[in-house]
Each structure stands twice: as C-alpha cells, then as structure tokens.
Amino acid sequence: MDTQELIDYIAHSKRRTPVKVHLRTRQPLAFPGAKVFGQGSLVIGDYEIIAPILTAYADQIEAIEIEAYCRNSAVGLLDIKTLSARIEPGAIIREQVVIQERAVIMMGAIVNIGAYIGKDTMIDMGAVIGGRVQIGDHCHIGAGAVLAGVIEPPSATPVIVEDDVTIGANAVVLEGVHIHQGAVIAAGAVVIEDVAPDSVMAGIPAQCIKQRDEQTTRKTQIVEALRQL
C-alpha cells in the first residue's frame, strides 16, 4: 500500500475494543456477535457489543473480570499463523505488514503498519520498525534500534534499507533516509542522511569512517542456522 491507501485504511477501519470477559453467572447468558466458551464462563468480542448485555443482566452476574488490550483501535495485529517466518513471543506486528520467508522477529520488537521485512532479515529484541519502513533481504536490525516511520505527512519518504545491511543496537535512522546495499551502521549511531553502498557509519550524526572490508564482513556475518524454520 502507498501512503494514501494506508491513511484511507486507518481512517475507514472499524474501531475495535477487543476484550476477554471471565464470568460466573446464576444462569447462562447469550452474547450475540461475540464468542462464548465454557457455557458462558469466557466471552471474547468487542466491548461495545458485550457491555450492554453485561449491564442489562448485572443482577445475574456473581463474579466478573474484564481484560482489555486496546481502546478504539484502528489497526489490529497481523495474523501470523501461516507466515513462513520465525516470530518470537512478545513481538507486536500490525496489519498490512509484509514479512518474507525466514525472516526473524525477536521478542519485544514492534513492526508498524505498512512495513516490509525481506527474506532472511532479523529484527532483534526491542527494535522499532516504523510505518512504511522498507527493509531488504539478509539484513540485521540490532536490539533497540529505531527506524523512524512515516504515515503523516503523506508526502514524507519512508526509510529504505537495501539488502545485506547491518544496523547496530540502539541506532536511530531518521525519516526518509536511504541506506544502500552492504552498509553497516554502528551501535548507537544516528543516521540523518543517505548512506552509500558498503559504507561503515558511526557517530552522532553518523559519518562514514571506512568502507566495508573483510574484517567488517566477518563481524556482521548473517548466520543462516538462526533463520531455519
């Protein structure tokens, strides 16, 4: 999707407040439009559908606990069940994200709407991949790194990361930056301008300190065994 399509998707999506309701009632209650389990002991659905029923039958409820995960959410989570990728617990991946084969999304990583993750790319723990960020194949995005997203303004250019790029832990890449193939971004660097192919960048703001060499390639080697499904 391009930016305007994503904006339209968000603007026109049904707002949702999904909840889990754990109930003990004097008699079974009906919840049309929701999923009911265990003869009414667990109800899953939208709070706007469930709440009026709970109010109407309050005198029948002996005990109740409601778990809410968001409020008026416009963008749900991506259905990851059929992905040919490795998604570890605690990763948050929103709808309209594309994740290619053998990608790895580690614990606590956040991937926002419209992002693209290429084949064999690893998004490490706690990394933030903003809206519309485009990441190529065989990349490693280090723990805690932030690749800034752009949904508004619509004219903004997304971060683009080409193939075989390594971005170190806690690095920051600002909106609109294009990192070309084979580049290496050192840990903690702040990248504010486009990066040429095979450049090694470090510092705040990031500057080229050398070109990729044999030593750099050894230190940033992609381990295929970690990408096996």
Q: What is the pLDDT along the chain (229 residues), one digit of tens a residue?
A: 778 888 889 999 999 999 999 999 998 899 999 999 988 899 999 999 999 999 999 999 999 999 998 999 999 999 999 999 999 999 999 999 999 999 999 999 999 999 999 999 999 999 999 999 999 999 999 999 999 998 887 778 999 999 999 999 999 999 999 999 999 999 999 999 999 999 999 999 999 999 999 999 888 888 888 888 8
The pLDDT value given to residue 225: 86
Element (H, E) at 8: helix 3-12
Report the alpha-carbon distance of residue 36 to residue 87 in Å, rounded: 28
pTM above 0.75, yes or no: yes
Task: Say how many C-beta atoms besides its own lie within 10 A of residue 37's C-beta.
Answer: 10
What size, in residues, is the chain? 229
Q: Helix (H, G, I), strand (E, B), or coil: what is residue 212?
A: coil
Would you list the DSSP string of 23-80? EEESS----TTSEEEGGGTEEEEEHHHHHHHHHHTGGGEEEEEEEE--SSBSS-B---
- CA–CA distances in Å: residue 169 to residues 125, 141, 213: 9, 7, 20
Report the alpha-carbon distance of residue 198 to residue 123 in Å, rounded: 20
Rg over alpha carbons for the chain, rounded to the nearest Å, is 22
Distance of CA 130 to the CA centre of its chain: 8
Quote the tokens at residue 74: 């416009």
The pLDDT value given to residue 4: 85
In single-letter form, the type of residue at position 35 comes to K
- CA–CA distances in Å: residue 207 to residues 65, 171, 177, 186, 199: 54, 13, 14, 10, 9
- Name residues whose C-beta falls within 8 Å of residue 22's C-beta, 6 or more positions apart in sequence: 41, 42, 63, 64, 65, 66, 67
- CA–CA distances in Å: residue 206 to residues 34, 184, 185, 210: 52, 11, 8, 12
